[in-house]
Amino acid sequence: MHIVADRNMPQVEAFFGDHGRVTRVDGRRLSREQLTDADVLLVRSVTRVDSALLQDTPVRFVGTATIGTDHLDLSWLEQAGIPVASAPGCNAESVVDYVLSCLMLACQRSGETLTDRTVGVMGAGQVGSRLVTRLRAMGVTCLVCDPPRAERESAGDFISLAALIEQADVICCHTPLVREGRYPTHHLLDQDLIGSLAPGTWLLNAGRGDCIDTAALKARLLAHNDLVVMLDVWEQEPDIDPELARLVDIATPHIAGYSQEGRLRGTAMLYEAWCHAAGNVPSRRWSDVISAPVVSGITLDAVEGQQQLWEALVLCHYDVRRDMDLVSRYWQQYGISAGFDRYRREYPARREFSSVNVTAPAGWRSAIEALGFVCHARTNG
């Protein structure tokens, strides 16, 4: 068996190596000629998988180690009878960790307390619903907009996008890119909605870049510069608008889901799906191949308040400024487009909050666990 895999997918050899030959490719530039004897194709979000790529190739299984599937022509793949696997939820915890790092940095910069803000979450799937769970456990008021879920579920406290924009002063976008159907998300935040954001609103996008009309966003920032904007995803990646990247408060190159756990779970989920399709029993799990964390424990002592604790803990473990600073160096050195992809390829290790055991006075246990860390409570503190 010949397995062709994106070079930016970890540990493919460890999972698939016993079953065939693995060839690594640059997923951004993959061509049909590279697939003339491929049986299995494993991609990331940067490869468009459609008839132009796969027609007349022997590929009989496609796996994408991502949550989003907008880069796959699913209807053509179904018509062609090629089984497809994605990795729902694989990196959702990682994205939530990223969002919390951004929010804590915004609090630190403005001197605000997160519980004084109201967070509006657009898209309450694997990522959005986990974010809401953590924020509500922290005591933060959350509003949720998810029309497909609102339609399907009788219970739930979903509101419209217009109401969310009116009532929330932090807006987090976690919608997939959907171009057709009843609930399209392309430019979901359009010029009018961007114009209606109250001055001082924090706007974060870790869904897909095209869900926001970024020309309109840039125009507003140039005219008023009255929003705090945090973008991990962009229109036209990797060739993103450098002026917009300079204007926003946090600019990262689509790495919200890049925890080591998230990336390994992606590979492992494809391996499990392929085993299932091929009638094999999986013999490896992601936890078998992950390396030991550099930091596995943090001790908190003289904590004065909840907000101080959250900022200290989150930014001590994962400070998003690391990624902002490093990628801006990559952009200077390699240019915007090449630097964007290169930083993602060489992404420095990041572990999820749940990998860290926090030792702290017992009274802080719930505030620590709400964030997603493991807490070892000291009764004498």
Ligand X SMILES: O=C(O)C(=O)[C@H](O)COP(=O)(O)O
Ligand Y SMILES: NC(=O)C1=CN([C@@H]2O[C@H](COP(=O)(O)OP(=O)(O)OC[C@H]3O[C@@H](n4cnc5c(N)ncnc54)[C@H](O)[C@@H]3O)[C@@H](O)[C@H]2O)C=CC1
Buried b (16+ CB within 10 A) or exposed e, 90-111: bbbbbbbbbbbbbbbbbbbeee
Q: Which amino acid is at 206?
A: A
The token pair at 36 is 């003339």
H-state helical runs in 38-119: 51-54, 74-79, 92-110
* Shortest distance, position 144 Cβ to ligand X, whole Å: 20
Decide: is 229 part of the binding site for ligand Y (CB under 6 A).
Answer: no
Of 170, 172, 165, residue with least CA distance to 191: 165
Which one of residues 5, 12, 54, 67 is an interface residue with ligand Y (CB under 6 A)? 67
Distance CA(94)–CA(258), nearest Å, equals 7
Give the active site residues: 208, 237, 254
How many CB atoms neighbour CB 161 within 10 A? 17
User: Does residue 126 have a known ligand-binding role?
Assistant: yes
- Of 39-47, 132-140, 147-155, 190-198, the segment contacting ligand X by CB under 6 A is 39-47
Tokens of 321: 């400024």
Nearer to ligand Y, 122 or 315 (CB): 122
Report the distance separating Cα 331 and Cα 333, nearest Å: 6
Tokens (6 digits) for 358: 């926090």
Nearer to ligand X, 201 or 205 (CB): 205
Residue 258 is labelled as binding a ligand? yes
CA 364 to chain centre: 28
Smallest distance, ligand X to C-beta of residue 8, A: 6
174 lies in the binding site for ligand Y (CB under 6 A): yes
User: CA-to-CA distance for 119 and 173, rounded, in angstroms?
Assistant: 11
Say whether residue 127 binds ligand X (CB under 6 A): no
Q: CB of 199: closest distance to ligand X in angstroms? A: 30
Region 200-229 residues binding ligand X, contact defined as CB under 6 A: none
Number of residues that bind ligand Y (CB under 6 A): 34
Which residue in the shown chain puts its C-beta closest to ligand X? 44
Q: Determine the Cα–Cα distance for residues 46 and 86; give it in Å rounded to an integer.
A: 14
Residue 127, marked binder: yes
Stretch that binds ligand Y, among 29-37, 177-185, 343-351, 368-376 (CB under 6 A): 177-185
Candidates 174, 197, 175, 173; CA nearest to 185 is: 175
> Should residue 204 be labelled a site residue for ligand Y when binding is judged by CB under 6 A?
no
8 in contact with ligand X (CB under 6 A): yes
CB of residue 45 to ligand Y, shortest distance in Å: 8
Is 67 an interacting residue with respect to ligand X (CB under 6 A)? yes
Site for ligand Y in 132-161 (CB under 6 A): 145-149
Six token digits for residue 157: 């406290």
Candidate list 12, 25, 102, 122; residue touching ligand Y; CB under 6 A: 122
Q: Choose the contact partner of 8 out of ligand X, ligand Y, none; CB within 5 to 8 A by kind.
A: ligand X
| C-alpha dihedral sign at 22, 84, 344, 353 | negative
Residue 209 contacts by C-beta under 8 Å, 6 or more apart in sequence? Answer: 231, 233, 234, 235, 236, 237, 240
The residue ranges that bind ligand X (CB under 6 A) are 8, 44-46, 66-68, 91, 254, 257
The residue ranges that bind ligand Y (CB under 6 A) are 67-68, 89, 91-92, 95, 122-128, 145-149, 174-178, 183, 185, 188, 206-208, 232-233, 254, 256-257
Binding residue positions for NAD(+): 126-127, 146, 175, 232, 257
Binding residue positions for substrate: 45, 66, 258
